[in-house]
């Protein structure tokens, strides 16, 4: 009897160890203490909003600025978003800079790391350092474009496209006084 009991204990222990070492199921579960019955939005419509936060002043060429792009989920629904789907692009007037690179988050190899759950009122944001290249005008376009619904990992993300655009911003040359002061500061003192 003792041998049978020890064998059963050993078998159950081995079974638990194998279960703990197994690969994760690959599914995401939305659980919230605020409302455990809340459902993820699976409708074709969404209330997600895309915004761009930019400096409130004219930009100077050769200076780096922080450009913040955000996707916001208003209260009332839970949304699952694909983070690499949020991008921004500077559009210049006149278009003298050729092809301008699109800025966005790289996609992770593990697809489960590319999705984020936004509860009602939550946001996902990215801040990019961007240097104004020269004189003219720039408008920033932000786009959330998602073609991946997440079914392969067990989630249901909204698919579609949402666009936002900043106001037109002037880019001026650096002020001559600032350039002169900077040049004087670079000279060695005697």
Give Cα 21 distance to the centre of its chain: 32
**Quick check: 146 and 86 in contact, CB under 8 A?**
no
* Measured CA angle at 122 (ends 32, 109), to 5 deg: 85
**Residue 114 per-residue DSSP state:** G
Q: Which residues of 32-48 are buried (b: 16+ CB within 10 A; e: fewer)?
A: eeeeeeeebbeeeebeb
Res 92: pLDDT: 86
**Quick check: 133 and 173 in contact, CB under 8 A?**
no
Res 177: pLDDT: 35
Q: Average pLDDT across each block of 10 residues of the chain; the chain has 190 residues. List them in order.
A: 55 42 41 58 81 89 92 89 92 74 83 90 92 88 92 87 91 63 46
Structural domains of the chain, with CATH: 46-174 (2.60.40.10)
**Quick check: 64 and 131 in contact, CB under 8 A?**
yes
The span from the CA of 49 to the CA of 70, in Å, is 8
Res 31: pLDDT: 53
The span from the CA of 140 to the CA of 89, in Å, is 6
Res 153: pLDDT: 86
Res 102: pLDDT: 75
Res 4: pLDDT: 52
Res 183: pLDDT: 47
DSSP assignments along 32-90, one per residue: -SS-TT--B--SS----EEEEE--SS-EETT-EEEEEEEEE--TT-BEEEEGGGEEEEE
């Amino acid at each position: 009897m003792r041998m049978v009991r020890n064998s059963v204990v050993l078998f159950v222990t081995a079974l638990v160890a194998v279960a703990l070492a197994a690969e994760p199921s690959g599914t995401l579960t939305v659980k919230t203490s605020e409302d455990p019955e809340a459902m993820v939005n699976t409708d074709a419509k969404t209330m997600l909003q895309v915004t761009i936060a930019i400096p409130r002043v004219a930009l100077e060429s050769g200076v780096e600025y922080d450009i913040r792009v955000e996707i916001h989920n208003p209260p009332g629904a839970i949304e699952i978003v694909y983070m690499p789907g949020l991008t921004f692009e500077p559009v210049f007037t006149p278009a003298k800079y050729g092809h301008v690179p699109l800025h966005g988050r790289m996609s992770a190899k593990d697809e489960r790391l590319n999705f984020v759950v936004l509860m009602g009122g939550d946001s996902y944001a990215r801040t990019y350092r961007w240097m104004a290249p020269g004189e003219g005008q720039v408008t920033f376009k932000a786009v959330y474009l998602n073609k991946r619904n997440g079914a392969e990992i067990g989630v249901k993300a909204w698919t579609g496209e949402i666009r936002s655009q900043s106001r037109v911003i002037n880019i001026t040359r650096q002020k001559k006084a600032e350039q002169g002061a900077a040049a004087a500061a670079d000279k060695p003192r005697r």
